[in-house]
Chain A
C-alpha cells in the first residue's frame, strides 16, 4: 500500500512523505525535500564570478578568473555529492531492525542499520535549535551491559527536518511495529 502526502519542514520549505506498508511488520517512510533550484545555482555562480572579475580588474592577474571557474565547478560538485540530501528513508522491519538511508543529489547513498535487539524505543523529542524549539524523531539504543539504560540517541531525518505533524505519522507507525515486537518477544 503506497501513500503520498505533502508537509512542511521547519523552515517552511515543501516536503513529500511517501509511506509504503509492505506488510503488517514491514514499513518504509521516505521524505524528499525540494531539489536544488536553478535560481540559487545561478545566483551563487554570478556572485562568485562578479567578485572574481572585480579582483581581476584590481590585480590584472588572469589566474584569478580561472581559479574562480575551478572553485565554482568543484564547489558545486562537492555540494551535490557531500552536502545536498535529496531523500531520507526509514525502513522498519519487525524482529530484524531499522535502516536509515540518505540519498544525495549526486546519487550517492549512505545507509545505517540498527538491529532490533539494540533498539529500546522510538520517540519524538524537543530541542532548541538557534532561536526555535523544534521536534525531532529519534531512536533510543540500549546499553548492552545494562539493558535498562540508554546508551545512545540516534536522530532521524536530520537534514530534511520535518515538522510535528509529519513526525506524528511516522511515530505512530513505528510504535505499532515496536509494540508488536515487544508483545511477541515477551511471549516466546
Chain B
C-alpha cells in the first residue's frame, strides 16, 4: 500500500533535520508536525517528545530525516542520516530530501524487516502538503466515535482524514516553543517565527477573570432576590405570570448569569452559545439605547402621552358603534329584542366605566410613560415586552367582553346539549361517562322542552355576540403575538455565528479543507 506522508507547508523551506510527528498505522500515514534542526542532543529530543506526549496524549516520535541541501554529494550526509536511523529507531523510517532552489523532491520510506536487519523494503510514498496554520485556527470537531464500535476496534473507517487533522490540532503544546526561546532543541513549525496572538484578545482574557467574578456575584444576588418567597404570594405571583415583561427579565437574567459564570465552556458548541448570547444582549441594549434617545428628544413622550387618551376614546367610540349595530339588525339577521337590549346595555355600561378610568388616569400617563421609557436601557426586548403589556392593559375591556360572551355561550351550549338529550329520552351518566337512556316524568319533560325551545331561539343572539368578541380578541392576540415573535427573534438569533461565517469562515469549519 502507498505510504502517505502529511507534510506541513511551512517546513518546506526549513533547514535539514529530523522529522517529528505521529505514525498512524491504520491508514499507513505519517503526520509530520515539526522539524528538529541540527545540532541537537538525542537525549534532549527524546525528553521533549516524552513531555509533549504526556501533556497532549499524542504519540509523537521521530519519524525520519529531512534534508534540504544545495547540490552536495550525498555520501557525507548519507552515512550521518543512516546513523540517526539507528539512534531513533522507527518503522518505517522516512527520508525526505529537497534540493534548494528547485522543485525536485525525493521521498523514500524504509521498512526494517526483523529477520534480516541489513535489508530494508522500500515503499512508494505519497507526499501531501497541509497548512498547519489553517488547521490550528479552525476549531475542528473531534472525530466522531461510532456508538456501535467496541473499544479495541480500529476506527479507521470512522476516522480517516479527521483523525490526521485531529492529531495536528491536539499537539498544540509542541508549537509553543519558537525560535526566540532559549530551549535545548530548535524546532521549525508554523509558529516558530513567533506565537500568533492578538493583544486585545489577551487583555480581555486577563481582565475577564475578575470582571466575571464580580458580575457573577451580583447576578447571583439578583437571582436570589427574585426567587425569594415574597413573590409567591397570591397577587404578586398572578401578576408575575401574566406580565410578559417579568418573563423576559427573568430570561435575560438567566442568560447573563450563564455568560458571566466563572466556569469555562466545555466544548465549542457551548462557547458558541455563550458568545451568541453575549452578542444578542449587547445588540439588544444598543437598540434599546437608540430607542431611548429617539424617545427622549423632541419631547416624543409628551406627544405620545397626549395622543394616547384620544386613541383610547376613539377605540371606545368604535366599540359603542359596534354594539349599537349589534343591537339593531346586524347583517340582516333578526335578533331577539329583549336579550339583545340587555347584553348591549351591559356592555355599553362596561365601556363607559372603562373610559372613566382612563380619563381618571390621564394626568399620570406622561409620568408613567417617561419612567417606562427609561426601562428601554435594559434592552429593546424589555421595551417591546412592556409595549405588549401596555396593549394588554389598554384592551382589557375587550378581554372582559370576550370572557362574558364566551361564558354565556358555553353555558348555553351546555344547557342545550343536556336538554337535547332529555328531548330524546337520554341522560348523561357521570359514573359511567356515557349516555344512557332514562325515563323522565311528564312534568320534567314539559319543563325541559320549554327551556330547550327558549335556549334554541336565543342561540343566534348569543352566538353572534360571542363571534364578534372572539374576533376582536383574536385581533388583539395577533398584535401581541407579533410583538412576542419579534422579542423571540432578538433573543435567539445567533448573530455571532452569522458574523463568524461572514468574516472568519474557517473557524466554523468542521471538515478538513480540500486537497
A→B interface (CB under 8 Å):
25-26, 91, 93-97, 99, 111-113, 115-118, 142, 144-145, 147, 184-185, 188
Contact = CB atoms under 8 A, between A and B. Distances in A.
Given A115-B161, A145-B146, A93 B514 contact: no
Interface residues of B, number: 17
B157 A95 contact: no
Contact of B514 (A25, A113, A117, A184): A113
B2 A94 contact: yes
Contacts of B128: 96
Contact of A96 (B124, B126, B148, B157): B126
B157 A113 contact: no
User: What 9 A-B pairs have minimum CB-CB distances, sorted nearest first?
Assistant: A184-B1, A111-B514, A113-B514, A117-B160, A115-B160, A117-B157, A95-B2, A115-B161, A99-B515
Interface in B1-30: 1-2, 4, 27-28
B400 interface: no
B126 A117 contact: no
Contacts of B4: 95-96
A47 B13 CA distance: 57
Q: Is the interface of A mostly helix, strand, loop or mixed?
A: mixed
Contacts of B161: 97, 115
A185 B154 CA distance: 14
Contacts of B158: 144
Contacts of A91: 515
Contacts of A185: 1
Interface of B: 1-2, 4, 27-28, 124, 126, 128, 146, 148, 156-158, 160-161, 514-515
Contacts of B156: 117
A142 B160 CA distance: 14
Contacts of A118: 160
A184 B148 CA distance: 26
Contact of B157 (A93, A112, A147): A147
A91 B124 CA distance: 19
Contacts of B160: 115-118
Nearest to B513: A113
A160 B398 CA distance: 65
Contacts of A99: 514-515
Contacts of B27: 95
Contacts of A142: 157
A145 B148 CA distance: 8
A58 to B, nearest CB: 41
Contacts of A97: 161, 515
B1 A95 contact: yes
A94 to B, nearest CB: 6
Contacts of B126: 25-26, 93, 95-96
A4 B157 CA distance: 36
Nearest to A113: B514
B157 A144 contact: yes
A97 B514 CA distance: 10
A144 B2 contact: no
Contacts of A113: 514-515
B211 to A, nearest CB: 43
Q: Which of B1, B126, B156, B161 lies at the interface centre, i.e. has the most chain A CB atoms within 10 A of its CB? A: B1
6 contacts: A25-B2, A95-B4, A97-B515, A99-B515, A144-B157, A185-B1
B146 A95 contact: no
Nearest to A142: B157
A148 to B, nearest CB: 12
A110 to B, nearest CB: 10
Given A94-B2, A142-B157, 6 more contacts: A91-B515, A95-B2, A113-B515, A117-B156, A145-B148, A188-B1
A96 B28 CA distance: 11
B7 to A, nearest CB: 14
B152 to A, nearest CB: 17
A43 to B, nearest CB: 38
